[in-house]
Amino acid sequence: MKVGFYTRLAWSNLRKNRRLYLPSILTGAGMNAVFYIILTLAADERLGDVKGGQYLTDLMPLGTMVVGLLSFILVLYTNSFIIKQRKREFGLYHILGMEKRHVGHILFWETAISGVMAVAAGLLGGILLYKLCVLIICRILKVDSILGIYYVSLSTVAPAGIYFLGLYLITCVINRVSIARMKPIEMLQSPNTGEKEPKTKVLMLLVGVLTLTAGYGISIATKQPLQALTLFFLAVVLVIIGTYCLFVSGSIAVLKLLKGRHRFYYQKNHMIAVSGMLYRMKQNAAGLASISIMATMVLVMMSSTVSLYAGIEDTLESRYTHQVYLNAGYYVGDDYQKIPHDQLFDMMEQTAEEQNLTITYHGEQRYLGCAFGYENGEMLLQRTNEFTPDVVQCFFMTQEDYESLTGEQLNLNGKEIAIHSLPSNQRRSVDGFKLKENEFTCTRQLDSFPISMEEYSIVDCFGIVLSGEEEFQNIEQLQREAYGDHASEVMEQLVVDFSDRKAMENHYEDYFDALRDKIHLVAEADEHSNGGFGMSVNCYWDTKEYIYGLLGTLFFLGLILSFAFLFATALVIYYKQISEGYEDRNRFQIMRKVGMSEDETKDAIHTQIMLVFFLPLIVAAVHTAFALPILIRLMRVLLQSNVLLFLGCSAASFAVFALIYLVIYRMTAHTYYHIVS
Amino acid sequence: MTLLEVKGLKKIYTTRFGGNQVQALSNVNFSVEEGEYVAIMGESGSGKTTLLNMLAALDRPTSGQILLDGKELSSIGEKELAVFRRENLGFVFQEFNLLDTFSIKDNIFLPLVLSGTPVAEMERRLAPIARRLGLDQLLRKFPYEISGGQKQRVAVARALITNPKLILADEPTGALDSKSTDDLLRVFRDINAQGQTILMVTHSTRAASHANRILFIKDGEVYHQIYRGARTNEQLYQKISDTLTMLATGGEQA
């Protein structure tokens, strides 16, 4: 027999089994397209030059790994599913006189043709969609769109294509082996005859309840963002174990309980749905659990990346009460000589004038930021490298500086202090504290503090106003003695606002370049200087660019991975429905014969599909709801502390997800009806 | 009293492509009295299955009438048809058609559950039937755990539990060994003796020899019929066998 014969047979088989093959080819193509796009985004040098674009190069390889792994699993899963469904057909070929190797040939060509189709369609789709993705990224990063000719890079087309062709080659080998191992009689026998009704596994049920409770408990009980970071993955693992255990044993326990309640059970839809689900739970529990977990992952990924991105403006507002924080100096020998703030400000004004800019505010900020151990109201001068819940971060400032920055009179004397405690702190109010022999008493709680402390909010942060320079120097001295080389420096910064924050966005780099030149001149003008000079600028616009680049890229990665996981979820659901459809067809035919009308059959089918379909969605919603507390704390580590915004984004993500899920449901339910009736 | 009356029944199938017409039944007339046990015999392709499908209201005749207890089947709307079948007809099939997801008890309950019967009433009806058919010990088991003969008895119980006017059996012994066949036929005799009307379509001379009357169908018509009269099963068996030979060789009507 010639190759042409096998290819023709393979082609007609693909067409006959398109209900099985089409989704598999589409999935392969979809994953291949996503894979190509992510690879290309990381390699596209045009994007690397865009503001914030460098994060694409850093973060996209992570996405490549996830999508690559997911593709690997999906391609193997769809293949094994198809082989299982077609066993009888292969058995028939056998009876008709084909040898195993002939069946192997046919299967090889089927896999090869569908693989090449998937890769070709995927690469083409990827190349076409790439431009759209670039446009989306430019929007997300808030930069001008790069338009122009289609960007096709052979250096990414080749690896994407080769990787996927490799996957299909692996399935070819697997199929070859599994065909060789099959026995013709087994192939012909119809699957799942005489399945036993499953037994309730009490131990597993117990493990499931315990792990799930523990996972949920961790999420609710963890108050410290830093603990949240370490415990999050433990909670994830616990919940995954719990989900699998509960689906496998819990579902059976619940169904048996329902079955025991005769009044409920002996109603037509209940009876058919409950016994049908009980019967198939054994084989389907793991599938349903996987769908639930994938759905939860999509939800968590979507809500956190969306809210991080949506909260950027918020984060910037809370961190930048003013636009520019700056100091500058030069080296005289080994000593760093600060340029006095008056002089620095004169240079800034001069530069502003040259560039037609207006400075609307300027002030001075002087503070000491310092970490302590904390125990029973006592600040301990012990330096640890780790952030533990026992560490607190304090920002000290004199009464005088506080008044000049805020205009508020505090009238503190001696060891009296005023404290601002961050809303995210665990210890919300502090009456005072002890530091060595000094006992400070708090006479006033402050609602706000001129220095932004949010950056440190993974530990408790306190803004502390001291009565005067004497106390300030005292504390500075104490921490210098205790911490030695690691001691904190007193921060002295010039604080400046420009009139038009928006307009400065495009000018600020020119402005600070010009300022730097002036500082250079000052450094050179001093005959003692060795020519080295420095300028430290912490400004709103620079951070904005960085934060949009980082969180925007994360957001895009979240989107594209959510898309990939949705695709995977849809595929698993679709195949599950199809295989169940073939199993259920016989059952519903019998019920028709025994006296069930068409409408009643449809009703019963509907009830059953709904249960199987929406159970994972409900489980995912519950998982996500219980994940919210720990996610809110994790968000704080990532500088997003707007809880309402996060909840809103989670709700929106769920709505979008549920909508897409509903569409998948409609499509698969349609196929299911078609098979059953 | 006449329970079932079939008058001038005709069924023509039109093939899906090409419009070729195939006549399955040309003109079938017969009636069944209440309490009768009737077997319908005929070769493959004689129209037995078509007839049964129409009696079961699964298919509609091209022309002619079927009256069950005086009610014309074709006058029943599509919606009420399922209910009508459930309440008036009981079915026994060759392949048992038990649902492997249901226990034996639930399989028997299925038609009652579909009709929305209260649990207490279902249990009340089940007890005597299960005893009569020897199913008491099997109720909690599942179809894959019992033998073919037991499965068919379960199917009979499922047919009986609705107290149907007529039981339609389609080759009920077709998938059974000889001992199970004897068992089942004894069950049919039993329930018939208690007044249950049975109409059975079969290939098997032995099965037919248990009936009170045998109708022979050939080329879409009732060709011949035999009454048991005073014959024993063995004598009836011989008579049927002779008739079949005659039908097959094309002899004159006896």
- pLDDT (mean) for A310-339: 83
Q: Are A623 and A264 in contact (CB under 8 A)?
A: no
Q: Residue B52: list chain A partners with CB under 8 A.
A: none
Q: What is the pLDDT of residues B150-174, one digit of tens each?
A: 999 999 999 999 889 999 998 888 8
Contact B101 A263 (CB under 8 A): no
Q: Residue B119: list chain A partners with CB under 8 A.
A: 262-263, 266
Q: Residue B86: list chain A partners with CB under 8 A.
A: 594-595
Nearest CA in chain B to A194: B144
Distance from CA of A258 to the nearest CA of B (A): 14
Nearest CA in chain A to B90: A594
Rounded to whole angstroms, the Cα distance separating A609 from A586 reads: 16
User: B111 at the A interface (CB within 8 A)?
Assistant: yes
Rounded to whole angstroms, the Cα distance separating B37 from B192 reads: 7
Most A CBs within 10 A among B80, B108, B110, B165, hence the mutation to make, goes to: B110
Q: What is the pLDDT of residue A176?
A: 87
Percentage, residues of chain A above pLDDT 90: 17
- pLDDT (mean) for A188-192: 58
Residue A523, Cβ density class (10 Å: 0-12 exposed, 13-18 middle, ≥19 buried): buried
Containing A483, the helix (H) or strand (E) segment is helix A469-483
Rounded to whole angstroms, the Cα distance separating A329 from A70 reads: 53
Residue A212's pLDDT band (cuts 50, 70, 90): very high
Q: Is the pLDDT of residue A412 over 50?
A: yes
Residue B252 DSSP class: -
Q: Residue B102: list chain A partners with CB under 8 A.
A: 271, 275
Contact B100 A193 (CB under 8 A): yes
Q: Is the pLDDT of residue A197 over 80?
A: no
Q: How many contacts, defined by CB atoms under 8 Å, are there between A and B?
A: 72
Residue A652's pLDDT band (cuts 50, 70, 90): very high
- pLDDT (mean) for A69-93: 86
Most A CBs within 10 A among B80, B91, B93, B99, hence the mutation to make, goes to: B99
Q: Is the pLDDT of residue B19 over 90?
A: no
Smallest CA-to-CA distance from B25 within B245, B213, B215, B226 is with B215
- pLDDT (mean) for B9-17: 79
Q: Is the pLDDT of residue A479 over 80?
A: yes
Distance from CA of B44 to the nearest CA of A (A): 22
Percentage, residues of chain A above pLDDT 70: 95
Contact A593 B144 (CB under 8 A): no
Range in A495-499, A594-598, B95-99 the model is least confident about: A594-598
Tokens representing A564 are 């990939």
Contact A587 B144 (CB under 8 A): no
Q: What is the pLDDT of residues A604-641, one digit of tens each?
A: 778 777 877 888 899 999 999 999 998 888 887 776 77
CA dihedral B124, B128, B131, B135 (to 10 degrees): -50
Q: What is the pLDDT of residues A227-276, one digit of tens each?
A: 787 888 899 999 999 999 998 888 888 888 988 888 889 888 888 888 88
Percentage, residues of chain B above pLDDT 70: 96
Q: Is the pLDDT of residue A209 over 90?
A: yes
Nearest to B101 among A266, A267, A587 (CB): A587
Which residues numbered 175-194 in A keep a CB inside 8 Å of some CB on B?
Answer: 193-194
Name, in order, each residue with C-beta under 8 angstroms of A299's C-beta and a sequence gap of 6 or more. Answer: A620, A621, A623, A624, A650, A653, A654, A657
Q: What is the pLDDT of residue A575?
A: 85
What strand order describes the sheet that includes B2-14?
B71-72, B63-68, B2-14, B21-33, B221-227, B213-218, B37-41, B197-202, B166-170, B89-92
pTM of this prediction? 0.77
Distance from CA of A19 to the nearest CA of B (A): 24
User: B37 at the A interface (CB within 8 A)?
Assistant: no
Residue at token pair 């019963």: A604
Smallest CA-to-CA distance from A627 within A301, A403, A179, A193 is with A301
Give the DSSP letter string of A150-174: ----HHHHHHHHHHHHHHHHHHHHH
Q: What is the pLDDT of residues A22-49, one digit of tens each?
A: 989 999 999 999 999 999 988 888 887 7
Q: Residue A195: list chain B partners with CB under 8 A.
A: 100, 144
Q: Is the dihedral of CA B138, B141, B142, B147 positive or negative?
A: negative
Rounded to whole angstroms, the Cα distance separating A531 from A528 reads: 9
Rounded to whole angstroms, the Cα distance separating A461 from A453 reads: 7
Most B CBs within 10 A among A266, A586, A593, hence the mutation to make, goes to: A266
Q: Is the pLDDT of residue A126 over 90?
A: yes
Distance from CA of B113 to the nearest CA of A (A): 6
Q: Where are the alpha helices (DSSP H) in A638-677?
A: 643-676
Rounded to whole angstroms, the Cα distance separating A213 from A152 reads: 50
Contact B99 A590 (CB under 8 A): yes
Tokens representing A206 are 């117990």
- pLDDT (mean) for A365-376: 84
Q: What is the pLDDT of residues B237-251, one digit of tens each?
A: 998 888 888 877 765
Nearest CA in chain A to B122: A266
Nearest CA in chain A to B170: A593
Q: Residue B158: list chain A partners with CB under 8 A.
A: 594
Q: Residue B49: list chain A partners with CB under 8 A.
A: none
Contact A591 B99 (CB under 8 A): yes
Q: What is the pLDDT of residue A437?
A: 81
Residue A426's pLDDT band (cuts 50, 70, 90): confident
Q: What is the pLDDT of residues B196-236, one digit of tens each?
A: 999 999 988 988 999 999 999 888 888 888 898 888 888 98
Q: Are A44 and A134 in contact (CB under 8 A)?
A: yes
Q: Is the pLDDT of residue A194 over 60?
A: no
Q: Residue A599: list chain B partners with CB under 8 A.
A: 79
Q: What is the pLDDT of residues B88-136, one digit of tens each?
A: 889 898 888 888 888 899 999 988 888 888 999 999 999 999 998 888 8
- On average, the pLDDT of chain A sits at 84
Q: How crowded is residue A164: how many other Cβ atoms within 10 Å of its Cβ? A: 26
End-to-end Cα, chain A, rounded Å: 39
Q: Residue B116: list chain A partners with CB under 8 A.
A: 267-268
Smallest CA-to-CA distance from A302 within A607, A569, A35 is with A569
User: B106 at the A interface (CB within 8 A)?
Assistant: yes
Residue A278's pLDDT band (cuts 50, 70, 90): confident
Q: What is the pLDDT of residues A519-559, one digit of tens each?
A: 888 888 887 777 788 888 888 888 888 888 888 988 999 99
Q: Backbone dihedral region of B239: left (phi > 0), alpha (psi from -120 to 50 degrees) or beta?
A: alpha
Q: What is the pLDDT of residues B38-90, one digit of tens each?
A: 999 987 777 888 888 888 888 888 888 899 888 888 888 877 888 888 888 89
Q: Are A33 and A527 in contact (CB under 8 A)?
A: no
Q: Is the pLDDT of residue A105 over 50?
A: yes
Work out whether strand A490-498 and strand A359-375 pair parallel, antiparallel, or are unpaired: antiparallel
User: B213 at the A interface (CB within 8 A)?
Assistant: no
Q: Residue A275: list chain B partners with CB under 8 A.
A: 99, 101-102, 106
- pLDDT (mean) for A184-205: 69
Contact A594 B158 (CB under 8 A): yes
Q: What is the pLDDT of residue A145?
A: 74
Residue B254's pLDDT band (cuts 50, 70, 90): very low
User: B97 at the A interface (CB within 8 A)?
Assistant: yes
Name, in order, each residue with C-beta under 8 angstroms of A619's C-beta and a sequence gap of 6 or more. Answer: A243, A292, A295, A296
Give the ipTM: 0.81
Smallest CA-to-CA distance from A380 within A392, A368, A395, A367 is with A392
User: SS3 for A568?
Assistant: helix
Nearest to A268 among B78, B91, B114 (CB): B114
Distance from CA of B53 to the nearest CA of A (A): 10
Q: Is the pLDDT of residue A379 over 80?
A: no
Residue at token pair 């996500």: A624
Q: Residue A268: list chain B partners with CB under 8 A.
A: 113-114, 116
